[in-house]
Amino acid sequence: MAGYETGNVHGQWDKTALPGFWENLAPARAKEDREKLSAIFNYAAQLPMGREALEWAQDNEIDFIVDHTTKANGYYWGGSGVVALSSRILMPGNEVEAAGTLVHEIRHAWQDARGMLPTRQKDFATDFIGVSLIEADAETFGNVTRYQGYLHKSRGYLAGLSGEERDGYRGRSLEKAVKSYESWLSDEQKALWRGFKEWYGSWRAPTYGTTAARSSAVRLGIPGVTKRDFLFEYNPYPGGREPATAGFEFTRQEQLRRLGKGFSGKRCMNYFNEAAREELDQMRSPARARVFYRPSGTTTPLMREIRLRELKLAYAKRQKAKTLKVA
C-alpha cells in the first residue's frame, strides 16, 4: 500500500493484453495511431497541466492506445496502466479537447495508483457517489487543461495579427478572450475546485447517473434493462477477470481530501482546501445521488425500482442475521 501512496506502482499494472492488442493491428493503423499519440503528446506538453500529467504518466509507466470503435472520448481500465483515446477526439484541429481528454484519463490512472477506483459494487448511492467524485476530479483537471489550451491558442492568434487588425473587432475580441482565460486560471486551486463543483450541475451527473442505474438494475435482476455498451476496443481483462477493489473511503474527511492533490504537488497543493464541509456533505449525500444531483430532486422510475429492491434485500439480510443469532 505504501507504493500506492507514493505513486511508485511499477510492476503493479496488468498489461498482459497490451502486446497482443498492438500485434493484431494492421501495420498502417499502428503507425497512424502512434503518430496521432505523438502529436497530442507534443501539443499537451506545451500546456502546464498537460506537461505535469504527462510527466507523471511517464514516471509511472502509463501506456497509451487509440480506440477506433468506442463511443467514449477516452477511457481507463482500473489496474491496467493503459489510457485509451478515441480516434474521433484525435482528429486534426481538435487538439484542445483532445488534450483535456488526455489529462482526464491520466488523472484516472493517478487515482488508480492511489487505490481510489472502485470496481466492487455495493448499493447504487454508494457506487454513484464514488463514481461522481472521481469523475468530477478527473474532469476538472481536464477542464483546466482545456482553458490553458484556449489561452495558448488565443495568444497565438493575437500574436499573428497586424497592428491594424489588433485595433479592430477581431483583435479586441481576442484580447478580451485572453484576459478572461488568464483570470479563470489565475488561481489554480480555485479553478480546480470551481470545475469540480460544476460537474455536479452539468449534463454529466445525470448521464453518469443513468449509466450507473442501468448497471445496478442488471445486478439486481430488473428485467428489460441492459448495461450501456461503450464499444471498447481494448479490454485488459477478457473473461471478466478485472480485480475487485473497494475504492477509497469517501465518508472520512482525510480520505476524501486525498483526492484533491495535484499530480506532483509542485503546482497544486490540494484544491479541496477551497471546499466548505457543507458542499462536500451535499456531494456525499445518498439522497442527492439517487436523483443524480438534479436540483429538482426528481427520481426516475428505474431508480424507484432499484431503491425498492435494495430495501427488500437489506431487510432480508437483517432477518437472516437475526435468525442466525437466535440459532
Strands 63-67 and 74-76 come out as unpaired
Residue 249: the pLDDT is 85
Residue 228: the pLDDT is 92
Count Cβ atoms within 10 A of the Cβ of residue 169 and give its class: 0-12 exposed, 13-18 middle, 19 or more buried.
exposed
Question: How far apart, in whole angstroms, are the C-alpha atoms of residue 234 and residue 14?
Answer: 13
Residue 121: the pLDDT is 78
Question: How far apart, in whole angstroms, are the C-alpha atoms of residue 278 and residue 262?
Answer: 23
Residue 251: the pLDDT is 85
Comparing C-alpha atoms, which of 293, 146, 137 is closest to residue 208? 293
Q: How does pLDDT run along the chain (327 residues), one tens digit per residue? A: 222 233 334 458 999 999 999 999 999 999 999 999 999 999 999 999 999 999 999 999 999 999 999 999 999 999 999 999 999 999 999 999 999 999 999 999 999 999 898 877 789 999 999 999 999 999 999 999 999 999 999 999 999 988 888 889 999 999 999 999 999 999 999 999 999 999 999 999 999 999 999 999 999 999 999 999 999 999 999 876 777 777 888 888 888 888 999 997 655 589 998 888 889 999 999 999 999 999 888 899 999 999 999 999 999 989 888 887 766
Residue 265: the pLDDT is 64
Helix (H) or strand (E) holding 16: none
Give the three-state DSSP class for 9. coil
Where are the chain's structural domains?
A: 2-326
Question: How far apart, in whole angstroms, are the C-alpha atoms of residue 58 and residue 47?
Answer: 16
Give all strands of the β-sheet with 74-76 in edge-to-edge order: 63-67, 82-86, 74-76
Residue 5: the pLDDT is 32
CA 110 remoteness from chain centre: 10
- Locate 305 and state its grid cell: 425500482
